[in-house]
Structure 1
Amino acid sequence: MKILGIHADRVWYKVTKKTKMAEPEPVPEDEMTDCVLLFCCVEKSDEINPEMTVAATVESILVRLGRLKARRVMVFPYAHLASDLGCPGISQWVLKSIQTRLVEDGIETKRAAFGWYKEFEIKSKGHPMADFSLSICPFAGGVCDGEYCPKKQEQSGEACHS
């Protein structure tokens, strides 16, 4: 899973057009202030163990939120972060599960519509830690740092790449 995070003063979006993967009845327009915007892309490799992907992603997000002293998140599906996209059904499940787990951990969380083109605006806070990226490795069950990953080696004979 790939994530691009932005600590924002304000995030706003409005759905404009559905794709063939569009979820039914999306929230057509929403916004959030003083939050962390998480552009999220579920990858094909996340299908190996989606539960582990969710758990590792939530753990990594909570660590980052702690550093930022942030308690509000907008999960924003964003397919443009990877070229090997996960299937729509599993991707939606992963993103909804991340939202649910964050809420269970006391984080106010919203999720933008899956499978819809969206018009959006972001006002970033612009401090040194305001922008970040995460690559969650479904083989290691955590943030992938690009080093040798024995679990991926067992699965495919390759090293883990960030």
Structure 2
Amino acid sequence: MRFLSFHCDYFRYTATKRSRSKVFEELNDTNKEGSLENPVVFFISIEKQDETDEQIYQKCILEIEKITTQLKVSNIVLLSFAHLFGELSSPEFGLTALKNIEKLLIEKYENILRPPFGWFNELELKAKGHPLSRISRKIN
């Protein structure tokens, strides 16, 4: 698993078109668009090797907690982002992984936003410009 995070003033999305993935979430009034103020936005790539790593969720949560604790932020965006990285997991596992990460974070964070899986999104964000505003991690 890999992610790139941005500490932002705000994040907004609108789901615009289905991606080529056979796996997708249905759109409804609550997930077609969304926004969050002062979030850390995590662009997450779920990789093939994650499918056999029993500790992958705990490792991911630990890294997210380290970043959000340093930044003193309680708003999180989890965005599936397959465009940056190598050998991806199956789409089925990718969706399951994102949902599991979201479930584990719900208890600890004020607001979590997860745009629907399997859709192209129009994104708007304003990234902050401090030393920890952009962080990447490879989790293995």
Q: Give the alignment's TM-score, normalised by structure 1.
A: 0.80
**Any idea what the Cα deviations from partners look like across 1:52-111, whole Å, max 9, x if unmatched?**
111100011001111011111010111112121101111111111111111122342111
Structure 1 residue 97 and structure 2 residue 78: aligned? no
Structure 1 residue 2 and structure 2 residue 2: aligned? yes
Match of 2:113 in 1: 110
Match of 1:32 in 2: 36
Q: Which whole-Å CA distance do the structure 1 matches of 2:129 and 2:106 have between them?
A: 26
Contact 2:76 2:109 in 1 (8 A): no
Alignment of 1:133-148 (within 5 A): 133-137=136-140
Structure 1 residue 22 and structure 2 residue 24: aligned? yes
Which structure would you say has the larger Rg? 1
Structure 1 residue 12 and structure 2 residue 12: aligned? yes
Identical positions, percent? 32
Match of 1:145 in 2: none
Q: Which has the higher contact order (CA 8 A, sep 6+)?
A: 2
1:59 aligns to what SS in structure 2?
A: helix
Name the aligned partner's letter for residue 41 of structure 2.
Answer: L
Q: Give the alignment's TM-score, normalised by structure 2.
A: 0.92
Q: Any unmatched runs of 5+ in structure 2?
A: none
Q: Any unmatched runs of 5+ in structure 1?
A: 138-162
Contact 1:42 1:86 in 2 (8 A): yes
Work out which of the residue numbers 123, 128, 133 in structure 1 matches 2:126.
Answer: 123
Q: Which whole-Å CA distance do the structure 1 matches of 2:33 and 2:108 have between them?
A: 25
Structure 1 residue 47 and structure 2 residue 56: aligned? no
Q: How many equivalent pairs are there?
A: 136
CA RMSD of aligned residues (A): 1.2
Greater share of helix residues, 1 or 2? 1
**Any idea what the Cα deviations from partners look like across 1:15-35, whole Å, max 9, x if unmatched?**
111123322235111111111
Contact 1:12 1:121 in 2 (8 A): yes
Q: Which whole-Å CA distance do the structure 1 matches of 2:90 and 2:25 have between them?
A: 13
Match of 1:81 in 2: 84
Name the aligned partner's letter for residue 12 of structure 2.
Answer: W
Q: Which whole-Å CA distance do the structure 2 matches of 1:28 and 1:65 have between them?
A: 26
Q: Which whole-Å CA distance do the structure 1 matches of 2:47 and 2:118 have between them?
A: 15
1:40 aligns to what SS in structure 2?
A: strand
Name the aligned partner's letter for residue 5 of structure 1.
Answer: S
2:61 aligns to what SS in structure 1?
A: helix
Work out which of the residue numbers 56, 61, 68 in structure 1 matches 2:59.
Answer: 56
